[in-house]
Amino acid sequence: MRTGYIAFSVLLAFAVQATAAPKPPVPGNGPKATVIRNTNLYVSPDTTSSRLAEITPGREMVIMERNGPWVRVFANTDEEISQSQDAPVFGNEAKAVPVSGWMQAPWVVSTETPKGDMILFGMAASEEIEANRPHASQDTARAARLLYQRMADFFPQSPLAPEAAWRSADIRWQLQKADVFSLPSAHEKDAYMREQIDDEEFRKLKKNYPHSRWSDLADWDMLDNKICGDWQGSTKCPEKEAEMYEKYAQEHPESPRAPEALYDAVYRQGALNDMYTSNGDDKKAGEAKARAVTIAGTIATKYPQSDYAARAAGLVYQLQESIPIYGTDRQ
């Protein structure tokens, strides 16, 4: 189901960083919870009473009291305050003060819910699938991300927790990436000339799950902050990126992204061959071609079942037949 990329048709705008506000009142020691669908919060346990707010999936709550099919909660309202807006409210600095009210219990999943980890993970996965559909609402992607985050927060010992934490961080990264790369600065050659994607969640993931599949995937995504924008015909960018992708594959040989990293290195060496050839530098062109062939051989040896082994073989064929790679099929 996952490929590491989330193809959303809309972008999520992130609010500017807000200054810290006084801590909200501590709501007590009840179980933490969230809702799995949009749920109204009422003044009293009665649908005819005044509605206080609508709580969206993945928003953090604390259950204070139960009354039949109703629960009284302190809920984190859905306010956009900063790029750290989705951090748990309770015990942290935040502008949004939790509101107390009643909601119907069937849509509430708490740390005490049997198989709560599977329920939250499953609902998040369903939202993520919906977010990939054409014309999906940005709220769907947001719900998937927050539900994954709550699952990892509420059930840290669950075998699903690392994957949930990764998916939450990755969805947020892809949304920000789409935003950053839609700006005019994304076409600047040097990476430092554009806005950097916030990697705070990935750094936390790497700390919690070091030397794991999930830290490998985090390191892969974080390369987005290092790649060039438009190469503008400069050999500096593909040289740097080819080295960067080779290094990733060497340091993360078990990563699901290792074959892709090596393929990206082959492509860049092929592009360098074209660039050097057009500049009349046959020596460097030959070196780039030879390096591309070597890396492609590594993919065929280490990852023979990967599509990238066959794709790299296709690039090598282009090089051997003097079919241009750079400028005709940019990647």
User: What is the CATH classification number for the domain harbouring 44?
Assistant: 2.30.30.40
Among 82, 110, 138, the domain-final residue is: 110
Residue at a domain's end among 53, 76, 110: 110
Integer angstrom CA distances of residue 241 from 167, 188, 222, 261 = 26, 15, 13, 10
37 inside domain: yes
Q: How far is CA 124 from CA 72, 119, 160, 162, 215, in A?
A: 24, 9, 12, 14, 21
Domain limit, last residue, from 110, 129, 161: 110
Tell me what the mean pLDDT of segment 290-317 comes to: 97
| Residue 252 within any structural domain of the chain | yes
CB atoms within 10 A of CB 5: 12
Q: What is the 3-state secondary structure (H, E, C) of 230-248?
A: CCCCCCHHHHHHHHHHHHH
pLDDT in tens, 215-244: 999 999 999 999 999 998 899 999 999 999
Of the candidates 110, 98, 93, the one whose C-alpha atom is nearest the C-alpha of residue 41 is 98
Q: Residue 198 CB: number of other CB atoms within 10 A?
A: 16
Whether 195 and 16 have beta carbons less than 8 Å apart is answered as: no
Q: Which of 77, 252, 180 is nearest to 86 (CA)?
A: 77
Domain that holds residue 286: 231-331
Residue 221 falls inside a structural domain: no
pLDDT digits (tens, 9 = 90+) for 242-292: 999 999 999 999 999 999 999 999 999 999 999 999 999 999 999 999 999
Residue 43 lies in a domain: yes
Q: Which residues contact 244 (CB under 8 A, 6 or more apart)?
A: 223, 226, 227
Q: What pLDDT does 28 receive?
A: 59
8 Å CB contact between 58 and 146: yes
Reported as a single tens digit per residue, the pLDDT across 60-82 is: 999 999 999 999 999 876 544 33
Does residue 146 lie within any of the structural domains? no
DSSP tag of 65: E
Q: What is the DSSP string of 156-208?
A: TTSTTHHHHHHHHHHHHHHHHHHHHTTSGGGGSSSGGGSPPPP-HHHHHHHHH
Query: What's residue 311's pLDDT?
Result: 97
Distance from the Cα of residue 70 to its chain's centroid: 35
The model's pLDDT over 133-154, given as tens digits with 9 standing for 90+, comes to 988 887 899 999 999 999 999 9
